[in-house]
Amino acid sequence: MADNVNIQESPPEVQFAGVNRWLRENLFSSTGSAILTFVSIGALIGLFRSIIGFFISPEREWTAITYNLRLYMVQAYPESDFIRVWITIGLVMGLLGLTWGFNSVNEKSSLKSTGTTLMKVFSSLFLLVLIAPTSVVIDKVEGTVVDVFQQELRIYLLAVLAGLILVSYFIRTKLASQEVSKDYLNIGYVGLLVVSIWLIKVPTVTFDSSNVRIEPDPLLPLAASTKNPWTALYLLLVVTFFIGRYLNSKNLTSFKRILPVSWLLTPLVVVTWIYRKPDFTLSQITTLDLPVILGFSAIGYLVINYLNSEKLMQYQRYFVYGSLIIAVVVFSLPVLRQLKLLFFLLWILISVAPTIANSKESARSLFIVWSVAITILILLMRGGTSETLIVVPGSSIYGGFALTWVLAFFGIAISFPFGVMLALGRTSSLPIIRIICTAIIELVRSVPFITWLFFGSVMLTFFLPAGVEFDEVVRAVVVTSIFSAAYLAENVRGGLQSISKGQFEAADAVGLSTLQRISLIVMPQALRAVIPPIVSQVISLFKDTSLVAIVGLFDLLYIGSKVIPNQSQGANFLGTIQENILFCAIFYWIFTYSFARRSMKIEKRLGLGER
Amino acid sequence: MNKKSIVYLLVFALVAVACATEAAEEEVTVEDEHDHESTLEQVQERGFLKCGVSGSAVAFSETQADGSVTGIDADYCYAVAAAIFGDYSKVEFTALTAAERFTALSAGEVDLLVRNTTWTQSRDTELGNDFGPTTYYDGQQLMGRNSDGLSASSTLKDIDGLRVCTNAGTTTEKNITEGARLAGAAIELVTVEAFPEAMEKFKAGECDLVTTDGSGLVGNRAKEGALNDWAIFPASPISKEPLGPVYRSNDSQWADIVNWTVYATFIADEYGVGRANVDSFDYDANPEMGRLMGKNDGELQTVMGLSADAFYNVIKQVGNYDEIYSKNLNPVGLYREGSANAPWTEGGLIYAPPAR
């Protein structure tokens, strides 16, 4: 570009008029405000002192969390199969790196703002160390006081922090004109986290050969047993980030379509194959799955290429009805679940193929999509329907954060399309569809979530025919997603109502079909308008997953609030409820806050709220 | 492509699918009707025992850091599995809340319920359950500070004018209200949502007494290291809480298996046979132990549908009552001596019918 002047619109910088004046104007403008300032500073110091005192009190057993991290993450998943957990995290990390790199816009950030951020962080830490209490009261009745914070340690920490503040001040002033890529900065921040798990040492519960706890707890790195995998995962993230950026520079548009599909497919592969460790033999795949895949690919090929020939076109209706009847008949027969599903898919293919596959190219791509889709589907079903080889003492291989994750992801992934369909159905002009959708929404919303969970867990057994059993987690996922879909439907309906009638009429005027009108005109606008309530719904679903504890599944919060505070064997963690609840709260906060930040970015990109 | 190839393709597709269907025949299992099968047959066919526990009850069924389940309740699940399969690990634990435990049992989601469940008349008669032998005799007690003049020999008369913390809306609350009224003591009741809160209030001095089952009080006292500062009383609890295994009614074979597994641990304790000496014990000198361990012919076990050495496996793999009790309950400060859980020969209630 010739006129590369880089005119960046930035607001004029507010001149800082000196500390004295700022203080006088904002804190000490009158006698009353001066008193108020002193009182609130005193109250804040007192509050923070007691919070810090709570954290560093010898009464707190933070080892209850570090010792039970495994329980928190995967509950009873056997150690010999941990590689599967790491592969799962690795897949997510790799995808994350690819997506991050591929969508990177190479934003630059001046070192001045970085320096300011660092200065803020270190100054706050400096203040906290300065006001931290020297001793805390551990027995309120007796009034026993214990020293928790030695003066030497305080001075040492203050000196270190003061040095760091000086360094950040130097960055802020001397290197202010330097510019760095925001991506590299973020990689650096994550790298700091990884370095810290190698360097920071914390008291760790260990047992000697005769199973007696070693006192006092020896100091070991933060992630003593998992620091190697985490480092490898970090390297994977960095490598995939650069791969993603390379692919972006090559302008691979097809990759743009693959990424979202992989994000949807990865969790399915994880739950059916990786985490589950299915018990299957190679002969099952060669004698069962391969013929089915080949056979249905062949049938699909015939349908796609010959159904829209002139001779057969007139019988199209009969083919559709015929295949539906076959699908229903097959469904009621005691055959493989794969076949039941495939005949239904075939019915859908027969219904849509003549309209989609109207040219040679589109016929070819439809055939490829069909073959790949059924191959993936059959293989996923093979994994998902086989017995699992993972042996756990409980009835479910999912527990802790793994369970929370599965419930949240599949709850969101299933409830979103389902909710949109319910919303469309409720606004439909066809009375039967409208009544059914309204009934589902109102019925689901009018009963508490816990009641539905109970229904799914305990009462469903009485309604289902004998011998039909669903996994407890599957039941919980179904209940969660239906419940969430009902609320989502109402959010989306709000968005639908915000679209003016003119949009519908305009779509009709240019001759769009109903499907095109909804997918091209209505939905993009309606969903855009309701991003904030949808994100709220996602966050509340994520937190609601903790309610599955009521049906005997051990999710993150249940482990923190009930399981660990009741451990008396081995290391005794009886009554460590405050520490564990706090840990869970922080854990949930990290995830919900990330959702919120992410959605804020999306809103910004779409320019919401600026019209 | 001509018509011929279309026909070939179609035939190929049909043959392929037919082949798959043929091969799939053994995969598609038509579910048998389980209705007329006994619980033992179901369990043996399945290959493992489904046991309902709490999963988060101190010393009764705890979940450890590696996900394993321990505790006296869990050990009796292991014992029944050892009796049936000769392998204690063939148990699948289902964590049940207090609200859903009986529904889960009657719906067949668990074969056995060992979830610190108190044996009461209504639960035994109205809910379609039967109770096995009591494995732990619990009872509601109170805990107060020695500095308030309370000791292990205090009675309900001594709590006059004190504040009592307990969880709201439970039998615990009802028992203490009734007990205090009968003893003529005026108490101030402070109710909270759950027991840990009551404990926090007690520690903060917001109440003078806490009350719940004795096992819970002892555990909390041990945790706080306040053995010499806090007293638990009265010596004979103000309520009876016998805890034991629960199974579905009308399956006497299953009931026998569970009951005699428990009794076998009692009898082995009586004779001093434990995990360490179960192999070296002189069975010829003690014919009752010999019969129980299947050292003679083991006919008593085989008529129950078990193998002759079923109870030998229980003692070898899980242990006798004393071992199970000590392993799980001693760490939280509960000892058998002088309690209802002492053997009948030492004035306790742990008593088993003779094996002959």
Which residues in chain B touch residue A296, judged by CB atoms under 8 angstroms apart? 13, 17
ipTM score: 0.85
User: Between A141 and B342, whose confidence is greater?
Assistant: B342
Q: Tell me what the pLDDT averaged over chain B comes to.
A: 87
- The percent of residues in chain B predicted with pLDDT above 90, rounded, is 47
Q: Encode pLDDT of A263-301 as tens digits.
A: 999 999 999 999 989 988 888 888 888 888 998 998 888
Q: Which of residues 129-148 of A touch B (CB under 8 A)?
A: 139-141
Q: How confident is the model at residue A6 (pLDDT cuts 50, 70, 90)?
A: low
Are A292 and B220 inside 8 Å of each other by CB?
A: no
Of residues A288, A563, A570, nearest to B24 (C-beta): A288
Q: Is A450 on the interface with B (CB under 8 A)?
A: no
Compute the average pLDDT of residues A527-553: 90
Which residues in chain B touch residue A79, judged by CB atoms under 8 angstroms apart? 66
Are A571 and B9 inside 8 Å of each other by CB?
A: no
Q: Encode pLDDT of B59-86 as tens digits.
A: 899 999 988 999 999 999 999 999 999 9
Cα separation, A496 vs A502, whole angstroms: 13
User: At the top level of CATH, which class does the domain B140-239 belong to?
Assistant: alpha beta
Question: Residue B45 pLDDT > 50, yes or no?
Answer: yes
Compute the average pLDDT of residues A180-201: 90
Question: Residue B168 pLDDT > 70, yes or no?
Answer: yes
pLDDT at site A180: 84
Q: Is A467 on the interface with B (CB under 8 A)?
A: yes
Which residues in chain A touch residue B106, judged by CB atoms under 8 angstroms apart? none
Nearest-Cα distance to chain A for B167, in Å, is 16
Q: Let me know if the fold of B39-137+243-346 is the same as that of B140-239.
A: yes
**Where is average pLDDT lowest: A79-83, B202-206, B274-278?**
B202-206
Which residues in chain B touch residue A565, judged by CB atoms under 8 angstroms apart? 196
Question: Residue A571 pLDDT > 60, yes or no?
Answer: yes
Question: Residue A9 pLDDT > 60, yes or no?
Answer: no
**What residue ranges do the domains of chain B occupy?**
39-137+243-346, 140-239
pLDDT at site B2: 65
Q: Tell me what the pLDDT averaged over chain A comes to.
A: 87
The CATH-assigned architecture of domain A396-611 is Orthogonal Bundle (1.10)
Nearest-Cα distance to chain B for A237, in Å, is 29
Compute the average pLDDT of residues A511-538: 88
Which residues in chain B touch residue A67, judged by CB atoms under 8 angstroms apart? 65
**B164-174 burial string, b = 16+ CB within 10 Å, else e?**
bbbbeeeebbe
Q: How confident is the model at residue A1 (pLDDT cuts 50, 70, 90)?
A: very low
Q: How confident is the model at residue A29 (pLDDT cuts 50, 70, 90)?
A: confident
CATH number of B39-137+243-346: 3.40.190.10
B191, B167 in Cβ contact below 8 A? Answer: yes
Are A395 and B94 inside 8 Å of each other by CB?
A: yes
Q: How confident is the model at residue B33 (pLDDT cuts 50, 70, 90)?
A: very low
Question: Residue B31 pLDDT > 50, yes or no?
Answer: no
Are B16 and A292 inside 8 Å of each other by CB?
A: yes
Compute the average pLDDT of residues B102-113: 89
Q: How confident is the model at residue A109 (pLDDT cuts 50, 70, 90)?
A: confident
Compute the average pLDDT of residues A157-182: 88
Are B16 and A291 inside 8 Å of each other by CB?
A: yes
Of residues B94, B108, B196, nearest to A552 (C-beta): B94
Q: Is B267 on the interface with A (CB under 8 A)?
A: no
Three state DSSP letters for chain B = CCHHHHHHHHHHHHHHHHHHHHHHCCCCCCCCCCCCCCHHHHHHHHCCEEEEECCEECCCEEECCCCCEECHHHHHHHHHHHHHHCCCCCEEEEECCCCCHHHHHHCCCCCEECCCCECCHHHHHHCCEEECCCCEEECEEEEEEHHHCCCCCCCHHHHCCCEEEEECCCHHHHHHHHHHHHHCCCCEEEEECCHHHHHHHHHCCCCCEEEEEHHHHHHHHHHHCCCCCEEEECCCCCCCEEECCEEECCCHHHHHHHHHHHHHHHHHHHHCCCCCCCCCCCCCCCHHHHHHHCCCCCHHHHCCCCCCCHHHHHHHHCCCHHHHHHHHHHHHCCCCCCCCCCEHHHCCCECCCCCC
Q: Is A22 on the interface with B (CB under 8 A)?
A: no
Q: Is A207 on the interface with B (CB under 8 A)?
A: no
Compute the average pLDDT of residues B175-202: 88
Cα separation, B61 vs A567, whole angstroms: 9
Q: Is B93 on the interface with A (CB under 8 A)?
A: yes
Most confident of the following: A36-50, A279-293, A517-531? A36-50
Cα separation, B153 vs A349, whole angstroms: 82
Q: Encode pLDDT of B122-160 as tens digits.
A: 889 988 899 999 999 999 999 999 888 888 888 888 888
Q: How confident is the model at residue A358 (pLDDT cuts 50, 70, 90)?
A: confident
Residue pairs spanning A and B at CB distance below 8 A: 184
pLDDT at site A72: 94
pLDDT at site B30: 45
Question: Residue B236 pLDDT > 80, yes or no?
Answer: yes
User: Between B197 and A579, whose confidence is greater?
Assistant: A579
Are A568 and B332 inside 8 Å of each other by CB?
A: yes
Which residues in chain A touch residue B165, judged by CB atoms under 8 angstroms apart? none
**A390-400 burial string, b = 16+ CB within 10 Å, else e?**
bebbbbbbbbb
Of residues A454, A551, A570, nearest to B64 (C-beta): A570
